[in-house]
Chains A and B, each alone.
Chain A
Amino acid sequence: MSAPSTGRAFLALLHRDLSLAVRNRGELVNPLVFFLVVVSLFPLGVGPGPNLLGSIAPGVIWVAALLASLLSMERLFRSDFDDGSLEQLLLSPQPLPVLVLAKVLAHWLTSGLPLVLMSPLLGLLLYLPGRAVPALLASLMMGTPILSLIGAIGVALTVGLQRGGILLTLLILPLYVPVLIFATAAVTAAAEGFAYNGQIAILGAGLAAALTLSPLATAAALRIMVQ
């Protein structure tokens, strides 16, 4: 198939998934509310002392973002699987990894990006030092797309299962751990006034790897699961 047609299909799928997300506002808001609630419960649980909160803020925000992303992951292929759209994607004359990338991009734009934009506010809530906010933004900007891309593989592998939720968590959580470690290390370093570009560079490398490998793995997993 010619390149312009593949590009058109990519844009059409992106556009379709974005309009679907806008029309299902409940699902759109769900992970955001979760993120907000988890983070805002911490001052109540551990006490409002600025020192303690400031030092655990990077970890709290990142763990909450990771769980919120996990929560929204399952809807990536679920409805397409249920209504037969997935079969149409698999049988279209377009390379499947390109279509997978469009779906993951739409998913990240509607679930990951809002988390990134909301995070400075939550940093403020937890007394995160102001100089750590750019690091928080950078780490989330690099890290949440990795979460979406890795999650897509897991979701594709569990899409045909009735209750794939637990299995999905078991499959992808170990792969989320390195992202969590480097991202929180970057934010903590920035809060203490150290350079954090090393950790961000590693996240960038992870993003590049996930961007190239995950669509291929996801496409292969989808073909197996639809059989």
Chain B
Amino acid sequence: MVAEAADAAPLRTRALGCVRGYRRLFESLEITLQPGEVLLVEGANGAGKTSLLRLLCGLALPTEGEVYWHGEPLPRCRLEFQQSLLYLGHTPGVKLELSPRENLRFLAALHGLSVNPQQLDDILDTVGLYGFETVPARALSAGQRRRIALARLWFAEQALWVLDEPFTAIDRAGVARLEARLMEHAARGGMAVLTSHQALQLTPAPRRLAL
């Protein structure tokens, strides 16, 4: 796809502003995201990174401004937008009573993706959960629970990934695999918005947004 005008960008915000309590976190934020781009949102704790990510995926409504998906304001094209969206929040959405395999099977079905058992085992192997497929997530470590949620990135067909601190509690080898996966996603024309406090090794270097 050719990136010509900002209008053609799949994800675009116009004069986005957010007020939390009596504090203005940010205002008149203009973000455009083209296919193949990765946007790294940076800022101190409490700068509004999570708030921005929640606005971008439509979980929260902006105090001012609007978010557009393919030129349509967000609340109006919710289902189409959510079909192309993968969101990983602070809380990973993993059920502690269920095993990694059960968790993933549910999340895939919820997002309308069909994954066969072989694929599922391969993905669990990739994220380093081989041997833990049937253990309830309650018995796993924080990093392993996080990996269950991150495993979704390997069967995701969604074009837009919104990842809030995806690298928390992940070991170094895991971070490297995730970086590789992110670059692969971008190379296929996918988009990603993420926050991270770690220095990332991404080529090409991601665009940065400081809050």
Chain A contact residues, CB within 8 Å of chain B:
1-2, 5-6, 8-9, 11-13, 15-16, 19-20, 23-24, 79, 82-85, 87-95, 99, 226-227
Contacts and interface: CB of A to CB of B under 8 A. Distances in A.
B79 interface: yes
Given A84-B92, A84-B93, A16 B102 contact: yes
A82 B90 CA distance: 11
Q: In terms of DSSP, what is the predominant structure of the interface of chain A?
A: helix
A92 B95 CA distance: 17
Interface residues of B, number: 29
B93 A9 contact: no
Nearest to B81: A93
A94 B102 contact: no
B129 interface: no
Contacts, number: 86
- Of A23, A82, A89, A91, chain B has the most CB atoms within 10 Å of the CB of A91
Contact of A90 (B59, B94, B111): B59
Interface in B95-153: 95-98, 102, 105-107, 109-112, 136
Contacts of B96: 83
B112 A16 contact: no
B106 A16 contact: yes
Contacts of B60: 226-227
A8 B109 CA distance: 6
A82 B95 CA distance: 10
Given A8-B112, A88-B107, A88-B110, A93 B83 contact: yes
B20 to A, nearest CB: 11
Given A82-B91, A84-B91, A85-B93, A12 B110 contact: yes
A1 B91 contact: no
B82 interface: yes
Contact of B106 (A13, A79, A84, A95): A13
B93 A1 contact: no
Contacts of A5: 112
A147 to B, nearest CB: 25
Contacts of A93: 79, 82-83, 111-112
A94 to B, nearest CB: 7
